[in-house]
Amino acid sequence: YFDALGEDDTPMQVRFKEARDQRDTLLDETPAYMAGVDGDTIDNLLDDTKAYLDSVGSQWGLARYIQWLYYQGEQYQTNEWAIAYWVAAGERDQVTNPERTQMVMENPDMVMFYSGLFRGLTDEGQQGFIARYGVNFLSKSLREEFVEPGALTQQSDTELFQSQPLFQ
């Protein structure tokens, strides 16, 4: 089928191929978290810890248990355990690798073709992306999820606080 299209790619195909290459670089060569810690390491650490807590019938939450482990010895005082704590505590944005955010911000076509990359941005990164590019690179589902309900805004922060007349 694709042979029938000929050798020349359309401009959109060229953009897609570039976005795919950039995405592959992002996923393969750029760790998800600070200090060079990759996402699979943290996911496995959290899954294994949760499985252990479940197996012993512990009522402790994941973040609380990881925090307790920190004081149990040097083997738990590592970047991996520190990042796992922040992720378990719901503060993933605090430990996300800023290089990943920067790569997505500099390559908006990646978001256009791979919407999951937008969801992977920090809250600040998502707002920054929309402030820089508007909603032009967002899919309909991303617009419905983030922009229309008001989770993110297309106007700058200063526009929100422009003086308004008290009475109209």
Locate the domains of the chain by residue range. Answer: 2-29+98-159, 39-94
Q: Tell me, what's the pLDDT at 58? A: 95
Q: Can you give the pLDDT at residue 151?
A: 65
Give the model confidence (pLDDT) of 45-90 as tens digits: 999 999 999 999 999 999 999 999 999 999 999 999 999 999 999 9
**Looking at residue 115, what is its pLDDT?**
93
* Sites in the chain below the pLDDT cut of 70: 1-7, 151, 153-168
pLDDT at 73: 93
Assess contact for 53 and 60: CB atoms under 8 A: yes
pTM score, whole prediction: 0.74
CA 101/CA 79 separation, integer angstroms: 20
